[in-house]
């Protein structure tokens, strides 16, 4: 499935977001949340090293249906 919007670049992610522990858009912890979904691949590189990583979104930031427009969660941005 193609995401409706591109995830943020790797350079802008926190450690928790890069590790998959937090929503890539709002920073809400995913450790205690059910329903987190893949948000796509965050792209980045450091010289010759590719840092691309799959990132995740909380249920509030993730689109509920691919045919519906995206919506944003009420999470507190970190």
Q: How confident is the model at residue 7 (pLDDT cuts 50, 70, 90)?
A: very high
30-72, pLDDT tens digit by residue? 998 888 999 999 999 999 999 999 999 999 988 665 554 454 5
Question: Structure pTM?
Answer: 0.74
21-31, pLDDT tens digit by residue? 999 999 999 99
Q: Supply φ then ψ for residue 29, to 5 degrees.
A: -60, 135
Q: What DSSP line would sit under 13-27, residue for residue? A: --HHHHHTSB-TTT-
């Amino acid at each position: 499935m193609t995401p409706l919007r591109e995830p943020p670049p790797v350079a802008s992610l926190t450690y928790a977001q890069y590790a998959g522990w937090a929503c890539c858009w709002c920073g809400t912890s995913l450790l205690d949340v059910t329903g987190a979904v893949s948000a796509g691949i965050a792209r980045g590189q450091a010289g010759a090293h590719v840092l691309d990583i799959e990132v995740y979104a909380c249920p509030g930031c993730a689109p509920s249906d691919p045919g519906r427009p995206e919506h944003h969660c009420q999470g507190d941005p970190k």
